[in-house]
Amino acid sequence: MKRLLSYMKHYKKESILGPLFKMLEASFELFVPLVVARMVDVGIHNRDVGYVIRMGGLLVLLGVIGLACSLTAQYFAAKASVGAATSLRNDLFAHIGSLSYAEIDTVGTSTLITRMTSDINQVQNGVNMTLRLLLRSPFVVFGAMLMAFTVDVRTAMVFAVTIPVLCIVVFGILLVSMPLYKKVQRQLDRVLLTTRENLLGVRVIRAFNRQKNETVAFEEENSLLVKIQVFVGKISALLNPVTYVIINLAIVAVVWTGGCQVDAGVISQGKVIALVNYMSQILAELIKMANLIILISKAMACMNRVDSVFRVKSSIEDGSFAGGSASPAAAPSRVPMVEFDHMDFVYAGAKEPALEDITFRAEPGETIGIIGGTGSGKSTLVNMIPRFYEATRGRVAVNGRDVREYTQNGLRSRIGVVPQRAVLFKGTLRDNMRWGRADASDEDIYRALDIAQAREFVDQKGDGLELFISQEGKNLSGGQRQRLTIARALVRKPDILILDDSASALDFATDARLRSAIRRGTGSMTVFIVSQRAASIKQADRILVLDDGRIAGQGTHRELLRDCSVYREICLSQLSKEEVERDEQ
């Protein structure tokens, strides 16, 4: 709650004026039963039509003033709640963006989406209703009881008994239901996770004809959510009938006691009507208060969940060195562009290291091929260079400096990354290419498209750099998406280019042209090529062979065929025996 209050402090005026106007509205509402009492006791009793009309006009005036106060309160409450929620959502989005891959993997994408949307919306609604009703409802309840005592003390004793009983019932039900609402929110997370997995994997589900199985799995999760909601709903449903029974019994007691008082000539009929109206006001406000407390409990649970994300700190802290975009050619030749020094890395919660004792140097302008079996740690290794993950032990250096000394922006501005999964964003081709460099000219973009072997299909589509790309590039083929992501990285003109199995969807001829163009067009750029294909990396200046998180061998294609059994086995599984023997010579 401290975090939420820190956002609300920017809306102090609205947070004060909203409840004040609501209490002002409540004050006018408390006068209504007294006006009705006077209308009955004086106007109707004396058959004074003029007096009745004047009192009726006063009721209308009280209603209009109350409405104006209510609208003003609504405005201030909405401004404060929406403004605070907007700031909270913006800061949460920025915080999520600052987390490393390790934290995002641990928390989970579906959980983060729920926090950003559903949970913050609940917090916003909770703040809005709190500003409107938290002070108003108790004010009306106790105000009505005090007004009742000014009308008739003996009859008002019914209020003194009824209100504590109602509070016990209302808060007793809330104490039982609030933990259950938290359970509902947790189950809602599971439903959202199942939904997200199905929507993202819809093509795989259909390809394997698993629609019915996934429907059954979703129904199980959804049924559990419904079961919990129905259970807590039944408990909450007791609130209205029980309170209505108590209030109606209290009204009967008020009418009975008031009637006796009227017969005795102690009070008038209008005052009995006023007492009944005050009892009805108390009923309405207690119901509102009960619903408000349920809403506040949900909002607090959601805020705690949002705060738990804020409390997740990135395992990666910025260094102080901003770096620069100077060409590596300017650096002394003895300084490697990338250096791994006895580096180990363990994923969060894993028992075994994903990478162990990794040591090698990559010189400026050198092309490094990385190959190995599935799960050998190829992608993890190249993800250590831009510091997407933090080394558990050892050191990773770029241009002679430990990556921990760089600011994240300074380090990553020198690196162009093409991830395994080709991700494009909705917009024009030009917009997507300028993710690489915001001030890139059309000439720079076309040069990158030429190197990435994407110029031909872009020209065929006829829209040039205005080519529209749908969300995630769904209107392009897999190979086209991969070539555009390579072009996007080349637009940056980085010192280090990382191609993480980024040509897997390309045919061999296009892949060969791409590798040739990258070799010619990258100049002094240090290039890392991760691939499952031996043909894709065999022309590299040096090849790293990974096996179960360790470097099984490093050297040229010919050296590894002769000295590394793991590499030779991979080549024999992909190339002909004659070709392997020819390469050995």
Q: Which residues pair with 415 in a beta bridge?
A: 496
- Residue 332 has a pLDDT of 47
What CA–CA distance (Å, rounded) separates 362 from 153? 91
pLDDT value at residue 152: 79
State the average pLDDT over residues 114-133: 89
Q: Which two tokens stand for residue 274?
A: 């006023």
Judged on CB neighbours under 10 Å (0-12, 13-18, 19+), 206 is: exposed
Q: What is the pLDDT of residue 324?
A: 52
Mean pLDDT (whole number) for 533-551? 89
- Exposure pattern of 110-145 as b/e (b: 16+ CB <10 Å)? bbbbbbbebbbebbbbbbbbbbbbbbbbebbbebbb
Confidence at residue 585, expressed as pLDDT on a 0 to 100 scale: 64
pLDDT, tens digit (0-9, with 9 covering 90-100), for 18-61: 999 998 988 888 888 888 888 888 888 888 888 889 888 988 99
pLDDT band at 331 (very low <50, low <70, confident <90, very high): very low
Beta carbons within 8 Å of 429's beta carbon, 6+ residues apart: 445, 458, 463, 464, 465, 466, 467, 469, 484
Domains and CATH numbers, the chain: 79-310 (1.20.1560.10)
Cα gap 145→279, rounded to integer Å: 8
What confidence tens digit (pLDDT) does each residue in 372-390 have?
A: 888 888 989 999 999 888 8
Non-local (6+) Cβ contacts of 300 within 8 A are 1, 126
User: How many Cβ atoms from other residues are within 10 Å of residue 438's Cβ?
Assistant: 6
199-208: average pLDDT: 84
Convert the pLDDT of each residue in 87-106 to its tens digit: 999 999 999 888 887 788 77
H-type helices in 462-522, by residue range? 478-491, 508-521
Instruction: Provide the CA 285 distance to its chain's centre, in angstroms.
Output: 35
Chain segment 389-419, per-residue pLDDT in tens: 888 899 999 988 899 989 888 888 889 999 8
- Is a pLDDT exceeding 50 seen at residue 185? yes
- Cα–Cα separations (whole angstroms), residue 554 to 56, 377, 546: 95, 15, 9
Average pLDDT over the chain, rounded to whole?
85
Q: What is the pTM of this model?
A: 0.71
Contacts of 554 (CB under 8 A, 6+ apart): 360, 542, 543, 544, 545, 560
Task: Give the 3-state secondary structure of residue 200.
Answer: helix
Q: Predicted confidence band at 475 (pLDDT cuts at 50, 70, 90)?
A: confident
For position 334, what pLDDT does the model report? Answer: 62
